[in-house]
Structure 1
Amino acid sequence: MISSLRGTVLRASGAELVIEVAGVGYLVSVTPEHALALRVGDEALVHTALIVREDALSLFGFEDVERLDVFQLLLGVNGVGPKSALGVLSALTPDQIARAVQSDDDAVFRKVSGIGPKTAKLIVVQLAGKLHVVAPAAAAPAAKQKTTVGDDVRVALVGLGWPEKVAADAVAEVLAELGDAAADATAASVPALLRRALAVLGPAAQHQPAGAGR
């Protein structure tokens, strides 16, 4: 049983590799993507399955053990031969195969050349519970959006009764007046900006807050 080969790539074309190990060149059937990833002269490690037939010994190779394991599981499905199994792995990743099986979706397998509707359904049925679905990475909780000093001053003005737009305009005017000085922590502190904004807004008699005088 040849379970892996490590050697120099003598040929990489189509869906085949020739790998030289100790002076012997081994012809290995692989996915087109795998063949494209290698160049003549590269050292490659290929995990292999030896398929024995009455008229031939054939090697099928994969870049990792996970794909090899899925290949061997596919071979256990009625009607799936080594070329069809390699075709499935040429079209789908192991995780995509596992998810399709888990969701009882045989449509993805029907799209693979050489896999008919009956065989596609058998893949789903016979591989159920045999494949591991990789859980998606948990999404990092969204960082709480930081409020700027200007936002804090605007909220304070609204809390004092000024309309939202009036408060926002006053804060924008103050920040524009400060210019580069707005980067100074003292000048751009909430109390300092609030005092400036209130000065811009002027006496309550001239710029009456919302709800005043009721």
Structure 2
Amino acid sequence: MIAHLTGTVSAIRATTAVIDLGGLGLEVQCTARALAGLRLGERGHLETSLQMRQETFTLFGFVDPTEREAFEMLLGVNAVGPKLALAVLSLFDPPAFVAAILAEDLAALTRVPGVGKKSAERMLVELKDKVVRLGVDPVGHRPSVPADERPLWRQQVAGGLQGLGWSAKEAELACDAVEPLVVEDPSIGVAQLMRAALQSLAK
């Protein structure tokens, strides 16, 4: 079990970061908040969870132990895998996640890419009595879903870019640049859009 990593941040991508540990670079799949807290070339810290799927080991990174515990709790839900659990925690911080579960807020949970009504219902049924173990206070917290009227893909891409250090204006311009991809293929994934947006900003 690799419980945490502390080292130099040698790369930050749309959903992953590489932490250099004295010459050994470990790639970590991270929540949006975990990525937002890292700075390229600087020392960074991640709480981690090592998961094995189909003989492949993958490290997942989090802001703190509570976020990691919420991730591992989500993995206990039937049909919820690591990528979906990561997506949930990229949209909700732990207090907002607990608030959504306790309030049985299906509308909020189904805002997460990849979470349909059935998946959300399973989370509510299987986690309602467990989320209290996270020890967070959901009072006053609302699920951190976007309140504006922009398409969800645009909110997520713009938010991810700003988390990586780009300004709001630069993020919106990058979204404008990749919008034709959405028109061409409405089912295109956010990760692909993030990569295309980053490439447009790098020009």
Contact 1:49–1:61 (8 Å) recurs in 2: yes
Contact 2:84–2:114 (8 Å) recurs in 1: yes
Contact 1:13–1:36 (8 Å) recurs in 2: no
**What are the superposed Cα offsets for residues 95-145 of structure 1, whole Å, 9 maximum, x if unpaired?**
1111111112222111111111111001011001212351648xxxxxxxx
Of residues 84-93 and 125-134 in structure 1, the stretch that sits farther from structure 2 once superposed is: 125-134
Alignment-derived partner of residue 104 in structure 1: 104
Alignment-derived partner of residue 152 in structure 1: none
Alignment-derived partner of residue 69 in structure 1: 69
Equivalent-residue separation in structure 1 for 2:32 and 2:38 (angstroms)? 10
> Structure 2-normalised TM-score?
0.64
Contact 2:9–2:17 (8 Å) recurs in 1: yes
C-alpha displacement at 1:32, in angstroms?
2.9
Alignment-derived partner of residue 163 in structure 1: none
Q: CA RMSD in A?
A: 1.5
Task: Please list every run of 5 or more consecutive structure 2 residues that lacks an aligned counterpart in the other structure.
Answer: 141-203
Alignment-derived partner of residue 114 in structure 1: 114
Equivalent-residue separation in structure 2 for 1:40 and 1:2 (angstroms)? 22
What SS does the corresponding residue of 2:100 show, helix, strand or coil? helix
What does residue range 112-151 of structure 1 map to in structure 2 within 5 Å?
Answer: 112-132=112-132, 133-134=136-137, 136=139
C-alpha displacement at 1:53, in angstroms?
2.0
Considering only CA atoms, is the larger Rg found in Structure 1 or Structure 2?
Answer: 1
C-alpha displacement at 1:41, in angstroms?
1.6
Equivalent-residue separation in structure 2 for 1:100 and 1:33 (angstroms)? 18
Contact 1:106–1:123 (8 Å) recurs in 2: no
Whichever residue aligns with residue 105 of structure 2, its letter is D
Alignment-derived partner of residue 141 in structure 1: none
**What are the superposed Cα offsets for residues 60-117 of structure 1, whole Å, 9 maximum, x if unpaired?**
0001001000000000001110000000001111111111111122221111111111
What does residue range 185-204 of structure 1 map to in structure 2 within 5 Å?
Answer: none
* Percentage identity across paired residues of the two chains: 37
Alignment-derived partner of residue 57 in structure 1: 57
What SS does the corresponding residue of 2:124 show, helix, strand or coil? helix
Whichever residue aligns with residue 119 of structure 1, its letter is S
Task: Please list every run of 5 or more consecutive structure 1 residues that lacks an aligned counterpart in the other structure.
Answer: 138-214
What SS does the corresponding residue of 1:85 show, helix, strand or coil? helix
Alignment-derived partner of residue 148 in structure 2: none
Q: Which has the bigger relative contact order, CA under 8 A and spacing at least 6?
A: 2
Whichever residue aligns with residue 52 of structure 1, its letter is M
Equivalent-residue separation in structure 2 for 1:120 and 1:79 (angstroms)? 11
C-alpha displacement at 1:54, in angstroms?
2.6
Whichever residue aligns with residue 134 of structure 1, its letter is D
Alignment-derived partner of residue 83 in structure 2: 83
What SS does the corresponding residue of 2:45 show, helix, strand or coil? strand
Whichever residue aligns with residue 95 of structure 2, its letter is D
Contact 2:47–2:64 (8 Å) recurs in 1: yes
